[in-house]
Amino acid sequence: MNISIFIVEDDPWYSELLEYKLSANPDYTIFKYATGKECINNLYRNPDIITLDYSLPDGTGADFLKKIKTSLPQTEVVIISGQEDVSTAVGLLKNGAFDYIVKDAETSNRLWNTIINIRDKVKLRNEVETLREQIAQRNEAPSSIKGTSPAIKQVFSLIEKACKTNITVSITGETGTGKELVAKAIHAGSDRRKKPFLAINMAAIPKDLIESELFGYEKGAFTGAQSRRIGKFEEANKGTLFLDEVAEIDLSLQTKLLRVLQERELNRLGGNENIKFDVRLLVATHKNLLEEVEKGRFREDLYYRIIGLPIDIPPLRERGTDIVLLAKYFLDDFCKENKLAQKSIAEDAKKKLMSYSFPGNVRELKAVMELAAVLSSENTLGASDISFIAKQKNNLLSLDKDYTLKEIEKMVISQYLKRYDSNVLVVAERLDVSKSKLYSMIKEGEITL
């Protein structure tokens, strides 16, 4: 069982002594810091144990103990002090310290035994959490994704395989098919389920901000960088990072992403420190990545690095009776959430649902059923209660009124942004306009997300 330990000690000799003693156990990963501030700034590493010198140049152990326990209540803190003060020790123990050790010839041995006790406590806590999860999983559906069609059963099978290893997974499918839901199901079924799951949509972030979002930056790295910021790769350490619309990453950034994935380490913008990370990567796109490679818009070497296990999610129109199953699920869920009487779906309504192509896929079906639940005054939804909003798109503009070309442009773009959930890059592609034009219109307030 690997244990992560912070040694916070301003005396270099004493810090080396403690590290030497604890490093005798290969399962201990040691990080050393000379100030309390350095320790606080690195709490994102989620240490299991912190040995904290009581007298630090930038504050007392009592001050930093409070900050540590506020951020990481399950992290155990061992105070090491040069003075034997009973009242101070009692106060620290009451405020959450696991132990109070006085610096003397036996300090390193006593610390060794204390950490063994903490390790046993952490192991027991993890076993209890695992048992609770196993019990919860037995009482829950195996996945949050619903369906019984052969097409979706194939997806279930691939999700199950993906959960057994840390292989990168590339998820493809039309907009609205549930790519992020598949990513979350893989994370929830993996051995990283207790760690963070972070999702970031490459299409929703301006090109010049993506690098800092992924890799973070140091204070002063650029104008406006007033403090250090941790990027998504570091933030998701030990967990899962989901990059949605990965095909939208600029070619220049693809080169850096490839290097980061190969080396499993990164540099924050404006920094020189090589930061190692352990992240399970999941990616998604509505595009055909191989076609993007052939067109020179996506690096071939990055393609082979991230393709991993491909999972293609079928569009809703190819899932047969799953449409009705999902419709009932969304209807029941909406009624329960809004304290409405439960409603059923009449046969004519089911036929109407089954005959529609659902260009917006599962996301559109959810919106259709929620609207039907609100508009219907009966306990059974009939065909007349089912309205397909997408069919109204041809009536977007009324030619009974005069419009300027600029007004028509704004209305069309706004409608497409609504249809595609404010995904600027997808809208730019659909309308065959530059994404910089759309970002400029948003910035100037001509259109809103």
Q: Which residues have a Cβ under 8 Å from the Cβ of 201 and sit 6 or more positions away? A: 244, 245, 423
Each residue of 45-72: b (16+ CB within 10 Å) or e? ebbbbbbbbbebeeebbeebbeebbeeb
Note the pLDDT tens digit of each residue in 169-227. 999 999 899 999 999 999 999 999 989 999 999 988 888 889 999 999 988 888 777 88
The top-scoring range by mean pLDDT among 21-30, 132-141, 308-317, 439-448 is: 308-317
396-443 fold: Arc Repressor Mutant, subunit A (1.10.10)
77-81, 149-153, 417-421: which range is least confident on average?
417-421
pLDDT above 70 covers a percentage of the chain that reads 93
Mean pLDDT of all residues in 370-385 = 90
Reply yes or no on whether the pLDDT at 254 is more than 50.
Answer: yes
Residue 394 has pLDDT above 60, yes or no: no
Identify the band that residue 71 occupies on the pLDDT scale cut at 50, 70 and 90. confident
Q: Please, which residues have CB within 8 angstroms of residue 17's CB and are 6 or more apart in sequence?
A: 108
What length does the chain have?
449
Q: How far apart are the first and last CA of the chain?
A: 47
> Token pair 């609100």 is at which residue?
374
Calpha distance 385→378 (Å, rounded): 10
What type of residue is 287?
K
Domain 316-392, architecture per CATH = Orthogonal Bundle (1.10)
Query: Average pLDDT over the chain, rounded to whole?
Result: 87
Nearest to 312 by CA among 199, 154, 149: 154
In tens, the pLDDT along 37-69 reads: 999 999 988 899 999 999 999 988 888 999 999
Say whether pLDDT at 369 is over 70. Answer: yes
Domain spanning 3-128, CATH architecture? 3-Layer(aba) Sandwich (3.40)
Domain ranges of the chain: 3-128, 150-312, 316-392, 396-443
Q: Do domains 316-392 and 396-443 have the same CATH topology?
A: no
**pLDDT tens-digit profile of 113-166?**
999 999 888 888 877 776 665 555 444 434 458 898 988 999 999 999 999 999
Q: What is the CATH number of domain 150-312?
A: 3.40.50.300
pLDDT of residue 403: 62
- Distance between CA 324 and CA 354 in Å, rounded? 7
Q: Are the CB atoms for 197 and 239 separated by under 8 Å?
A: yes
Per-residue confidence (pLDDT) for residue 134, from 0 to 100: 56
**Four-CA torsion 51, 40, 33, 48, nearest 10 degrees:** 40
Q: Quick check: 8 and 19 in contact, CB under 8 A? A: no
User: What pLDDT, on the 0 to 100 scale, is given for residue 395?
Assistant: 44
Nearest to 100, CA basis, from 87, 67, 122, 28:
87
Helix extents (H) in 50-178: 61-71, 86-94, 107-138, 150-163
Tell me phi and psi for residue 269, to 5 degrees. -60, 130
Model confidence band, residue 235 (pLDDT cutoffs 50, 70, 90):
very high
pLDDT at 419 > cutoff 80: no
Other C-beta atoms within 10 Å of 273: how many?
A: 9
